């Protein structure tokens, strides 16, 4: 999908065609859309295709008068459980405009299109890119807080559960945190390259904004590391708890089996056609013997903490 926007009188406005100072957004573009952008704006086709590779990592590439910045965006995948992942976002800085390329529609891009990001003007390329990077960092922090809430809920469920479902969901969260941590560190390296001022021109007011972005990214990295360590430790602890609960259950069932075997043995003897059994003329004798043996066995098992 191809869309063109430009800041006019402080408002993000959608345009029908590209012009100087505009922002061109490509979301899962078709071959025709990429050919159109290449022909009209003279963009390197390799730059457009770079962000369409899901395995692409955060990096910066400069070719002639065009600059490609690839950063990782957080994404949510809905299924049997909520799983978080990352995908690349390509930012191409050309002479007349800025082009963004992404495989999926994301809330970050949608916020810019809806004009929800204040002070982000398409004519100011550097500040627009930095505001975009800031929104990405804030989105990482938002998803990390969601992961923390999901983890807290799963923790309460694990206290009263003996199933593997909750542990598997925690494993998905741990995997999401690994993706986040790896992507955030790559984004940090890219931001540090931008901070040197050799990739894109940084004005005085841009330095403060870029430092804010770096602070947000480093905070997200620290949060991801902390949550990953907590979840990893709790998974081990709850795996032990579930195993211990199973052992306790099996111990109780084994004790009940032992006690239920005693009446079978006693009545089995008295049920055979064998002469000479003690007190075989009294029907209540097997009941009394069974009760005594079961009582003694129960006391012994309780004393051994097996019941």
Give CA–CA dist 207/195, Å, rounded: 7
CA 240 to chain centroid: 24
DSSP 158: H
| Mean pLDDT value across residues 198-207 | 78
Every domain range in the chain assigned CATH 3.30.460.20: 2-244
Contact 179, 85 (CB under 8 A): yes
State mean pLDDT over 3-27.
Answer: 86
Q: What is the mean pLDDT of the chain?
A: 82
For the four alpha carbons of 82, 83, 84 and 87, in that order, the dihedral sign comes to negative
pLDDT band at 104 (very low <50, low <70, confident <90, very high): confident
Asked whether residue 239 carries a pLDDT value surpassing 90, the answer given is: no
190 class by beta-carbon count within 10 Å (0-12 exposed, 13-18 middle, 19+ buried): buried
Residues 79-99: tens digit of each pLDDT? 667 788 899 999 988 888 898
pLDDT band at 241 (very low <50, low <70, confident <90, very high): confident
Greater pLDDT, 283 or 305:
305
In this prediction the pTM is 0.78
Nearest to 200 by CA among 67, 58, 88: 67
Nearest to 177 by CA among 236, 237, 222: 222
Q: Which CATH superfamily is domain 2-244 in?
A: CorA soluble domain-like (3.30.460.20)
Output the six-digit token pair for 268. Answer: 């089995």
| pLDDT given at position 162 | 57
Residue 268 near residue 277, CB atoms below 8 Å: no
């Amino acid at each position: 999908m191809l869309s063109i926007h430009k800041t006019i009188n402080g408002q993000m406005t959608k345009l029908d065609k590209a012009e100087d100072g505009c922002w061109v957004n490509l979301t899962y573009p078709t071959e025709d859309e990429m050919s159109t952008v290449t022909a009209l704006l003279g963009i390197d086709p390799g730059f457009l295709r770079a962000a369409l590779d899901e395995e692409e990592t955060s990096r910066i590439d400069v070719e002639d008068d065009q600059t490609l910045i690839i950063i990782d965006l957080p994404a949510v995948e809905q299924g049997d459980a909520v799983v978080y992942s990352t995908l690349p976002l390509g930012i191409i800085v050309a002479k007349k405009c800025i082009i963004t390329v992404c495989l999926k529609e994301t809330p970050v891009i949608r916020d810019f299109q809806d004009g929800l990001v204040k002070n982000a003007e398409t004519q100011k390329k550097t500040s627009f890119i930095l505001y975009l990077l800031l929104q990405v960092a804030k989105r990482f922090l938002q998803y990390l807080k969601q992961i923390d809430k999901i983890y807290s809920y799963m923790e309460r469920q694990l206290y009263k559960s003996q199933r593997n479902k909750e542990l598997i969901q925690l494993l998905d969260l741990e995997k999401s945190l690994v993706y986040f941590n790896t992507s955030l560190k790559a984004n940090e390296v890219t931001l540090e390259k931008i901070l040197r001022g050799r990739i894109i021109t940084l004005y005085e007011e841009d330095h403060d904004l870029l430092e804010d972005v770096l602070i947000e990214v480093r905070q997200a990295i620290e949060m991801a590391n902390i949550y990953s360590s907590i979840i990893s430790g709790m998974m081990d602890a709850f795996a032990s708890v579930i195993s211990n609960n199973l052992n306790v259950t099996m111990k109780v069932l084994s004790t009940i089996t032992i006690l239920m075997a005693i009446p079978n043995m006693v009545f089995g003897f008295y049920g055979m056609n064998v002469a000479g059994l003690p007190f075989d003329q009294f029907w209540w004798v097997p009941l009394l013997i069974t009760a005594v043996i079961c009582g003694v066995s129960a006391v012994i098992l309780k004393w051994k903490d097996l019941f």
